[in-house]
Amino acid sequence: MMQKGNKHGVVTAYMIVIILATATLLRFTYLTFVEGSRPRYHDPLLSEVLVRGSIYDRDGSLLAIQAPDYGFEITLSESSPSYIASVLSRYTPEPAVSLESRIRNGEGFIMIPSIPSIPEMGEIRGELDDLGLSDEVRLTTRETRKYPSYQETWNIIGGVDQRLSGVSGLERIFDDSLTPRPSPFERIARGKDLTLTIDLEAQKAMMEMMQEIGYGGAAALIAPDGSIAAWTGGPDETVLRALVTSESSGYSEEDAHPALPFEEDGLIPLKEGFRLYADDKESLSALLPELAL
């Protein structure tokens, strides 16, 4: 009786093993041919490069752009600041003594004034490796905000911080538009460009005139189409908003301009259909005949 019971138990155990093996095989087959055919979800890869929108005058002259600075990223470990400075002075006109002082004060990026070519970058990296500095000095780029005509437009454009976020002027007022938004569909995400009613040549002339007469007030040159062609005053948000004709990269005279933030009866007629606003008209009256328009 015991032998028959043992035999029956062995058969039962074999059956259980066979059933489990069959179930496992069927599960594997289902996962392979059914589940495997279904598209799997993957987190989308967001844009690798973020580019802040540019700012242009009415004729397409560039007033603000994001562009890289080439230079050396420094991580001190074994080499002395004086040795690193002596090497970097080969690639920049700045004296080694000045470079050493900056490195000792914690500056981690030394800019190269000119953009090196690809062969030149290879040579520089090879030289750093030969000098035993490849672990501490790395040739790289840093994204920065550049203003080709900043001296004439600083009161309008404003500026950004180290994170390229607007902190003053149009950079601050239109920060949401200019800031790029990462996208799963584009490798390079760009913010919106701004086109201004400002005419860069007129802006330069007006700012130079203000400097010559030592006038610190606000003045605006109104173009014949009713838009503001130049502004010498401070960052008045109402005026600055009136300078933006569109969030695009082109200018059209058909674009609708915001209403002028000046009283019409306070505008001084000039030749060729231009008009002038000034918060101190008497100070400018003597120079009106000299305006070259």
pLDDT in tens, 145-191: 999 999 999 999 999 998 999 999 999 999 999 999 998 888 889 99
Within 10 angstroms of residue 58's Cβ, the number of other Cβ atoms is 23
Give which of 145, 65, 59, 74 is closest to 107, Cα–Cα: 74
pLDDT in tens, 1-13: 445 545 555 556 5
Q: Give the separation between CA 245 and CA 266, rounded to whole angstroms.
A: 23
pLDDT given at position 167? 97
pLDDT in tens, 23-71: 566 665 555 555 554 545 445 567 788 899 999 999 999 999 999 999 9
pLDDT in tens, 72-105: 999 988 889 999 999 999 999 999 999 999 999 9
Is 69 found in the same domain as 32?
A: no
Output the domain CATH number for residue 100: 3.30.1390.10
Is 20 found in the same domain as 89?
A: no
Sorted by sequence, the CB contacts under 8 Å of residue 24 that are 6+ apart come out as none
- Indicate the number of domains in the chain: 3
Six-digit token string for 91: 């690639």
Residue 168 inside a domain? The answer is no
Share of the chain above pLDDT 70, in %: 76
Is 277 found in the same domain as 212?
A: yes
Cβ atoms of 204 and 65 closer than 8 Å: no
pLDDT in tens, 242-292: 999 866 544 444 444 567 888 888 888 888 899 999 887 766 765 676 665
Domain that holds residue 18: 2-37
Q: Which residue has the higher pLDDT, 281 or 207?
A: 207
pLDDT given at position 280? 78
Is the sign of the CA dihedral 49, 176, 164, 43 positive or negative?
Answer: negative
Res. 17: pLDDT tops 70: no
pLDDT given at position 159? 96
| Whole-prediction pTM | 0.74
Is 69 found in the same domain as 29?
A: no
Is 215 found in the same domain as 140?
A: no
Is 73 found in the same domain as 30?
A: no
pLDDT given at position 78? 82
pLDDT given at position 2? 44
253-264 burial, b for 16+ CB within 10 Å, e for fewer? eeeebeebebee
Among candidate residues 125, 145, 165, the one where a domain is terminated: 145
Among candidate residues 145, 162, 185, the one where a domain is terminated: 145
Residue 156 inside a domain? The answer is no
128-142 burial, b for 16+ CB within 10 Å, e for fewer? beeeebeebbebeee
Residue 183 inside a domain? The answer is no
Query: What letter does residue 64 receive in the DSSP assignment?
Result: E
Six-digit token string for 240: 């600055």
